[in-house]
Structure 1
Amino acid sequence: MKKENIHRALETGVKVLSQKGYHNLGLREFLENAEIPSGSFYYYFKSKEDFAAKVLEHYGDKVAAYFTLRLLESDAPHKARLETVFNEELERLEATACKEGCMVGTLTSEIAGQNEFIQKVADGNYKKWQDIFERFFMEGQENGAFSKDFKASEMAVFFLTSRQGVMTRMKAAGKDESYRLFKSFMTKMIES
């Protein structure tokens, strides 16, 4: 399998696992969507579990790169950076009719408690994201954009944990109302 085929497999895996989860992932259907022969799949991925872990890691890296770009590398004021993340995430959620939340959250809820390998990959993703948000909130506190009532590390944990719960609730409801409430409460909580 060429490098672009592996990338296509991982990208297709993100879409399928985000929508269907691990237990409902049919490899035959996936292979047809990704246009990958099954022999190539098993050459690069030892098992369905190995595939899910690699997709999870790929997704986590993509999200970390997105958060880094929007929150740490932007020249916009800190409040505007966070507003951009909220708005772009809402657009993505609306484009999928709230059927895709966060793949890490989906797989964590579904199998991480039963699968130590997947659990470690999921936790690694959360830690990467938490580090980005902690740095972002700390910078915002230093320049007066955000409240100093909470430690930046606590704000990062609260933000990401709340976001995951909201994504699950939003998928259950099929609408983005809970995400909009999360955005409103989070914005008010961190303002200086």
Structure 2
Amino acid sequence: MKDMRQALLDAGLHLINEHGFAGVGLMKIINEAEGTKGSFYHYFKSKEHFGAILLHDYFETHLERLERFLSDESKAPSERVQAYFDDWCVVKLTDDFRIQCLVVKLAGEVSGHDTEMQSEMAAGTKKMIEKMTTFFERSNQEGTLCLSVPEQTAKTLFSLWLGYTLLAAMQKDRAILDDAMQTTVKLLNE
């Protein structure tokens, strides 16, 4: 028997990545997961609560992915960061320029609102930046990087890649992600 909670989250991730949060009705998610309204409300208080859980889970998975790249000791620290963003280029934007990053997709939709989803978005992005900052600080201490303000570098890189992914999708131009990588390399080697 399949896990209905996970089936609903998987269906929601797929549909929201395609259509945005506001563009997907609750029944569409339920039908995609082959569930019922009762099964949905057994796990989630509302669509907003569902969105917050979806974002929380997405960030946790993304943090694990980032950690795998940053802990790859077969590469120099700057190469680990570049490898992470190389992977980002492959998984966050399809060949036909559809955004496959829930954070990029929903950032404009939920930011600025006092909602559970906004809180999860803020908490998740903070964790991503903190993980990168900690990595940069440790690399500075080891002498393998020399970043003057590690936290600012982490914020800049995260913001850069969110924005450039959105821009690449809007303009249907993957070269924009190449520009993001050049900026990343430059920031890591200053």
Structure 1 segments of 4+ aligned residues over 6 angstroms from their partners: none
Which whole-Å CA distance do the structure 2 matches of 1:70 and 1:3 have between them? 31
Instruction: Supply the AA of the counterpart residue of 1:172.
Output: M
- Give the match for residue 130 of structure 2: 131
- CA offset at residue 12 of structure 1? 2.3
Which aligned pairs between 1:22-37 and structure 2 lie closer than 5 A?
Answer: 22-37=21-36
- Give the match for residue 48 of structure 2: 49
Which aligned pairs between 1:37-76 and structure 2 lie closer than 5 A?
Answer: 37-71=36-70, 73-76=71-74
Contact 1:134–1:152 under 8 Å retained in 2: yes
Which whole-Å CA distance do the structure 2 matches of 1:102 and 1:94 have between them? 8
Instruction: Supply the AA of the counterpart residue of 2:37.
Output: S
Instruction: Supply the AA of the counterpart residue of 1:8.
Output: A
TM-score (norm 2): 0.89
Instruction: Supply the AA of the counterpart residue of 1:10.
Output: L
SS in 2 for 1:175: coil
- Give the match for residue 191 of structure 1: 189
- Give the match for residue 3 of structure 2: 4
Which whole-Å CA distance do the structure 1 matches of 2:7 and 2:72 have between them? 29
- Give the match for residue 145 of structure 1: 144
**Unmatched 5+ stretches in structure 2:** none
The farther-off stretch of 49-58 and 15-24 is 15-24
Count of residues in correspondence between the two structures: 189
**Unmatched 5+ stretches in structure 1:** none
Report the RMSD for the aligned CA atoms in angstroms: 2.0
Instruction: Supply the AA of the counterpart residue of 1:79.
Output: S
- CA offset at residue 96 of structure 1? 5.5
Alignment deviations for residues 83-123 of structure 1 (CA, whole Å, 9 cap, x no partner)? 22122111214545321243123222012312432211100
Instruction: Supply the AA of the counterpart residue of 1:33.
Output: E
Which whole-Å CA distance do the structure 2 matches of 1:91 and 1:98 have between them? 11
**What is the percentage of aligned positions where both structures have the same residue?**
21
TM-score (norm 1): 0.88
- Give the match for residue 167 of structure 1: 165
Q: Which residue of the other structure, out of 174, 179, 188, is the alignment partner of 1:181?
A: 179
